Structure 1
Amino acid sequence: MKTTPITSSLAALSLVIPVSVQAHPGHEHSSFFSGLLHPITGVDHLIMLLAFGALAFFAVKKTTTQLSLLAVALVALVTGMVAGLNLGEVSGIEGAIAASLLVVSAALWQVFSGSQVVTRMAVALCVALIFCHGYAHGVEATGSVSQFAVAMAISASALMLLGHRLAAFASSRWVSAGVASASLVYLLVA
């Protein structure tokens, strides 16, 4: 596998980022309003959802396929929440959420390399990591979980669509550098 400067840098930086990043403390998981706000105020979710929307835009040419990718990611998020609610805490979820920010950054870089096989694998890995974002919410859910889940799905959809639309104005592999920079700042101060 050919390494690029960005993948080498991300691999090195992943060694210094704390695995115990707590992405969710201080957020209520019990009402419609908190469900709407959390993807926006949870910086890890904000970065991941906007970046995944951009990734869907860059990864495939056909708009219907791009929107299908966003729908699949949304299903993964909600399925993860249901799994977390029913299965409970699993070690490594917070680490997977932290890693998701670096993975989506690398995927955005990769999408411009021309290798469709690697791009498909990167997109699939990002969807799996979005499942982890949902899983963490399921574990922490209290109160009106269904209201929180519906509102979170609405907000997550809006953010992915926003990232998708913004990508049309910034069609460059350097978008990944911006996502990686925002992610690293967040992970280092979280």
Structure 2
Amino acid sequence: MKRLPAIAALVVLAALPGTALAHPGHGAGGGLVAGLLHPLTGADHLAAMLLAGAWAGIIGGRAARVLPVALLAAMLGGFVTAALVPAGLAEAMIGASVVGLALAALLRLRPPLWLAAAGVALAGLGHGFAHGLEAPGGVARIGFVVGFLLTAAVLQLAGLGVVALVGRALPLRSAMWHKVG
């Protein structure tokens, strides 16, 4: 029961998005500011980025560095190739990413690093597809993508930080917490 606060926090994060809520509202004209703010307004994106960071922290070690980079790189790839993907697939990938990341974090899964990186990359790809389909065009698109990726990185760091704080605050004996804290 000592893990109850951490588990409860992850359950709340996982339960936030009932459906993929990230797509409308890219801001009038798009651009950097819209990109910076947008990930904070979609519960699905917010939950996925926080959960990805938390899972990276739970795994610890190199995963705390590799997983966030893998997610961001795949998200950028999704932005670039979005026109090749049907919107329904992007939506399904987003929903699956939130559920998958929540389960991975809640169950404290510790797969090999390559498999964890592939999992978060798949999540990032889905988010990149969805937002690439609806991002503004022209020069505003570049600003939007840069802002979006910056905020996604900060959200992942926040997830890592929560795990580090919980690991320090709770007297857990798990090796997972010692790697982070």
Partner of 1:69: 67
In structure 2, the CA distance between the partners of 1:141 and 1:158, relative to structure 1 (3 Å rule), is same
1:45-66 Cα offsets, whole Å, 9 max, x none, are: 111101111111111324xx41
Partner of 1:33: 33
Gaps of 5+ in 1: 1-16, 173-190
8 Å CA contact 1:49–1:156 kept in 2: the answer is yes
1:46 equivalent to 2:46? Answer yes
Partner of 2:79: 81
Any runs of at least 4 consecutive aligned residues in structure 1 with deviations exceeding 4 A, and if so which?
none
Q: How does 1:161-172 map to 2 (within 5 A)?
A: 161-171=157-167
Q: How many residues align?
A: 151
1:97-138 Cα offsets, whole Å, 9 max, x none, are: 1121111111112325xx534x86355223202210011111
Structure 1 position 21, deviation (Å): 4.2
In the alignment, the residues of structure 1 paired with residue 114 and residue 108 of structure 2 have an alpha-carbon distance, to the nearest angstrom, of: 9
8 Å CA contact 2:44–2:94 kept in 1: the answer is yes
Letter in 1 for 2:22: A
Partner of 1:179: none
Partner of 2:111: 116
Letter in 2 for 1:100: S
8 Å CA contact 1:38–1:152 kept in 2: the answer is yes
Partner of 1:100: 97
Structure 2 SS opposite 1:97: helix
Structure 1 position 90, deviation (Å): 4.2
Letter in 2 for 1:24: H
Structure 1 position 78, deviation (Å): 1.0
In the alignment, the residues of structure 2 paired with residue 96 and residue 105 of structure 1 have an alpha-carbon distance, to the nearest angstrom, of: 14
Structure 2 SS opposite 1:116: coil
Partner of 1:156: 152
8 Å CA contact 1:39–1:152 kept in 2: the answer is yes
1:138-182 Cα offsets, whole Å, 9 max, x none, are: 11122311110111111111111111111112248xxxxxxxxxx
Partner of 2:5: none
Identity of aligned residues (%): 32
In the alignment, the residues of structure 2 paired with residue 99 and residue 23 of structure 1 have an alpha-carbon distance, to the nearest angstrom, of: 14
In structure 2, the CA distance between the partners of 1:54 and 1:165, relative to structure 1 (3 Å rule), is same
Partner of 2:124: 130
8 Å CA contact 2:49–2:156 kept in 1: the answer is yes
Gaps of 5+ in 2: 1-16, 171-181
